[in-house]
């Protein structure tokens, strides 16, 4: 069994349906007319036996239940080896609190992201004598599960919403928001669930890649405003949109990436409706719209 990825949760923070949302997509999902999607996480394995989770979503309990490859193999034996965090957002770290039952695994993150966890005493529920916290230096390859090597790199983004000050830099490049290059046995993939902009550095990294999971938060920058759901644009949230001249579909058009998979989709995104014109447009441009349970190999 070789390198594979499984989308545990394809939605952004809130999920589909989001508990307090009466938008078209959320209502359709509640009615069972389009598939529901849990919050942002992808599992990777080099061998099919040992798994690393990239991000720990608030839906992690259900995601474990729904994924046979992650089920216990003995009384307290689990295929989970680690959780790697790509930012400190609630949709990417809150699931750690569900993993507090004295089960050994390692949390991998940059020093900046570990600081966010360390500053919150609730995460001490993950007993340090059982759950190791390992700091990963940007651009230094690190084995996160047997045979699975992750290299973190900075991606334009912002600090978590709950740490925003009065002035917010939405295209900050550093340790707060990272992408991941995963390698195993000569195969590789990239995971970038949050990205404000495809910088030249990112374009150079991703050119000719076999498989990229990429931020699919919004279809258009003013989508939430148009849906009557507040005043925030995608740019303000630190997410580039799929469509338009400065969108991800256009930005990837000449990068020669093998498989392009959208993840971290907000519940307002029309591509979450399988029969939408936007879904057809994304697929015609070569994209796969991620969904819960989808397995992808490079």
Choosing from 59, 89, 221, 291, the residue that interacts with ligand MLT (CB under 6 A) is: 89
Task: Please list, residue by residue across 159-181, b when 16 or more beta carbons sit within 10 angstroms of its beta carbon and e when fewer do.
Answer: bbeeeeeeeebbbbbebbbbbbb
- Taking the complex as a whole, how short is the minimal distance between the CB of residue 238 and ligand MLT, in angstroms? 6
Say which entry of ligand MLT, Mn ion, Zn ion, none residue 43 contacts (CB below 5 to 8 A, set by partner kind).
none
Rounded to whole angstroms, the Cα distance separating 237 from 191 reads: 19
Contact between 23 and Zn ion per CB under 5 A:
yes
Task: Count other C-beta atoms under 10 Å from residue 191's C-beta.
Answer: 23
From 267, 269, 282, 290, residue interacting with Zn ion (rule: CB under 5 A): 267
Answer for the pair 229, 223: CB distance below 8 angstroms, yes or no: no
Determine, following the binding rule CB under 5 A, whether residue 218 of this chain makes contact with Zn ion: no
Question: Which residues in the 3-22 window bind Zn ion by CB under 5 A?
Answer: 21
* Binding window for Mn ion (CB under 5 A); candidates: 86-94, 202-210, 270-278, 279-287: 86-94
d(CA 258, CA 174): 27
CB of residue 172 to Mn ion, shortest distance in Å: 15
Strand-strand pairing, 211-215 and 259-263 = parallel
Q: How far is CA 17 from the centre of its chain?
A: 18
What is the token pair recorded at 70?
Answer: 């992650």
Q: State which of residues 26, 56, 70, 91 lies at the interface with ligand MLT (CB under 6 A).
A: 91
CB of residue 71 vs Mn ion: minimum separation in angstroms? 27
Stretch of 89-97, 134-142, 146-154, 283-291 contacting ligand MLT, by CB under 6 A: 89-97
Rounded to whole angstroms, how far apart are CA atoms 132 and 138?
A: 19
Q: Which is nearer to ligand MLT, 56 or 184 (by Cβ)?
A: 56
47 in Cβ contact with 56 (< 8 Å): no
Tokens of residue 110, six digits: 């940059």
Contact between 91 and Mn ion per CB under 5 A:
yes
What does 161 bind: Zn ion, Mn ion, ligand MLT, none (CB cut-off 5 to 8 Å by kind)?
A: ligand MLT
> Which of 5, 8, 11, 13 touches ligand MLT (CB under 6 A)?
13
Asked if 289 touches Zn ion (CB under 5 A), the answer is no
> To which H or E segment does residue 66 belong?
helix 60-66
Q: Which residues pair with 51 in a beta bridge?
A: 45, 80
Contacts of residue 189, defined as CB under 8 A and 6 or more positions apart, other chains included, come to: 3, 5, 44, 181, 182, 209, 210, 211, 212, 213, 296, 298
Out of ligand MLT, Mn ion, Zn ion, none, what residue 23 binds, judged by CB under 5 to 8 A for its kind, is: Zn ion
90 binds, among Mn ion, Zn ion, ligand MLT, none (CB under 5 to 8 A by kind): ligand MLT
From the list 88-96, 111-119, 229-237, 267-275, the region that binds Mn ion by CB under 5 A is 88-96
User: Any idea of the CA torsion for 230, 232, 233, 235, to the nearest 10 degrees?
Assistant: -160
Q: Is 240 an interacting residue with respect to Zn ion (CB under 5 A)?
A: no
Which residues does residue 192 pair with via DSSP β-bridges, in sequence order? 214
Using rule CB under 5 A, residue 13 touches Mn ion: yes
Chain position carrying tokens 């359709």: 28
Which residues contact ligand MLT (rule: CB under 6 A)? 12-13, 89-91, 161, 194, 237-238
| Contacts with Mn ion, residue ranges (CB under 5 A) | 12-13, 89, 91
């Amino acid at each position: 069994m070789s390198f594979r990825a499984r989308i545990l949760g394809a939605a952004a923070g809130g999920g589909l349906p989001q508990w307090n949302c009466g938008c078209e997509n959320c209502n359709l999902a509640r009615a069972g007319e389009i598939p529901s999607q849990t919050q942002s996480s992808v599992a990777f394995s080099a061998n099919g036996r040992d798994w690393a989770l990239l991000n720990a979503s608030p839906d992690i309990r259900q995601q474990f239940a729904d994924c046979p490859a992650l089920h216990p193999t003995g009384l307290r034996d689990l295929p989970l080896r680690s959780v790697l965090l790509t930012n400190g957002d609630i949709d990417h770290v809150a699931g750690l609190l569900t993993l507090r039952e004295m089960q050994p695994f390692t949390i991998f993150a940059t020093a900046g992201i570990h600081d966010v966890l360390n500053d919150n005493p609730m995460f001490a529920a993950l007993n340090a004598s059982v759950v190791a916290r390992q700091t990963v230096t940007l651009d230094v390859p690190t084995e996160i599960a047997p045979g699975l090597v992750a290299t973190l790199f900075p991606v334009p983004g912002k600090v978590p919403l709950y740490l925003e000050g009065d002035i917010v830099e939405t295209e900050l490049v550093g340790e707060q928001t990272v992408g991941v290059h995963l390698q195993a046995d000569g195969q590789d993939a990239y995971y970038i669930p949050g990205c404000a902009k495809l910088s030249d550095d990112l374009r150079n990294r991703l050119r000719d890649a076999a498989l990229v999971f990429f931020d699919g938060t919004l279809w258009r920058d003013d989508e939430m405003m148009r849906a009557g759901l507040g005043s925030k644009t995608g740019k303000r949230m630190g997410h580039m949109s799929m469509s338009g001249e400065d969108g991800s579909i256009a930005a990837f058009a000449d990068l020669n990436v093998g498989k392009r998979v959208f993840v971290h989709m907000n519940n307002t995104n029309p591509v979450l409706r399988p029969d939408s014109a936007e879904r057809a447009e994304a697929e015609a441009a070569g994209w796969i719209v991620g969904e819960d349970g989808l397995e992808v190999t490079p």
